[in-house]
Amino acid sequence: MATYTDELRAKAGDQWNRIVHHKFTKELAAGTIDKPTVLKRYLMQDHRFLDSCVVLLASIVAKVTTLEDRIPGCQWLAVATGPENTYFERSFEVLGVTAEERSSSPDADVTVKFCKLMIDAAESGNLEEMLAVLVVCEWSYMSWGQAVLSAEQEEGGPKVAREKFETYEWIQLHSGPGFENFVDYLRKLLDREGDKLKAGSCQERLEACERRFLETVELEEQFFDYAYQQD
């Protein structure tokens, strides 16, 4: 039986698959991505989501009602503000991104929209809206991480480049049992909230949740596309 999050993903249609199998994810995995331009542009903007993402996850932790539900979120907050943030700092160093460049480079339009979406969801006070945004962010990344690693296992499949940490470590951060458990945790929370809203015939809140989910999917694809835009 399809879960609520399965239903939401189905409503995203082929756009979900375009994210998972985007040119960016394939080139990142293969190590053929243009580091001085594409990867640099992507990482500089992606790092600017981190603060809003932390606010969103912290808001989810505050909104759930039991310690059992808070613990996985708290544990992943430590990952986001620890290993993930450190990955960005190390990548900026190897890519030659100066402090001046980081401070003077303007936010892309998609970055502004993404950060606003996260903060708006956090401030909505509705747990399902907060979860809808974060579920897309983490589930879609887990999905493309799994996709590139699975393709490698196929006979004659494309090999994942492991020589440079700035590409391979980004895949590692979004794959493996730990990350999969985190995504499963988020999905189960959203499935539970969706079932409650359905049982209570809360159609307006269900529609708002769906809008958040689909808007996040739209922005995820736009962000991958942005990495290839010419300045």
Dihedral sign for Cα atoms in the order 22, 27, 28, 34: negative
CA atoms within 13 A of residue 11's CA, in its CB half-sphere: 19
**pLDDT at site 155:** 80
Instruction: Could you please state the CATH topology (level 3) that the domain comprising 4-226 is classified under.
Output: Heme Oxygenase; Chain A (1.20.910)
**pLDDT at site 36:** 82
**pLDDT at site 157:** 87
Q: How far apart are CA 143 and CA 121, in angstroms?
A: 23
Asked if 221 and 21 count as a contact pair (C-beta separation under 8 A), the reply is no
In this prediction, the residues of the chain whose per-residue pLDDT falls under 70 are 231
Who's near 100: CB < 8 A, 6+ residues apart? none
Q: For the stretch 188-225, what's the b/e string if a residue is b when 16 or more beta carbons lie within 10 angstroms of its beta carbon?
A: bbbbbbbeebeeeebeebbebbbebbbbbbbbbbbbbe
Domain range summary for the chain, segments of one domain joined by +: 4-226
How many CB atoms sit inside 10 A of residue 104's CB?
Answer: 8
From the centroid of its chain, how far is CA 21? 15
**pLDDT at site 231:** 54
**pLDDT at site 197:** 97
* pLDDT, tens only, 54-97: 999 999 999 999 999 999 999 999 999 999 999 999 999 999 99
> To 10 degrees, what angle do helices 109-124 and 50-63 make?
10
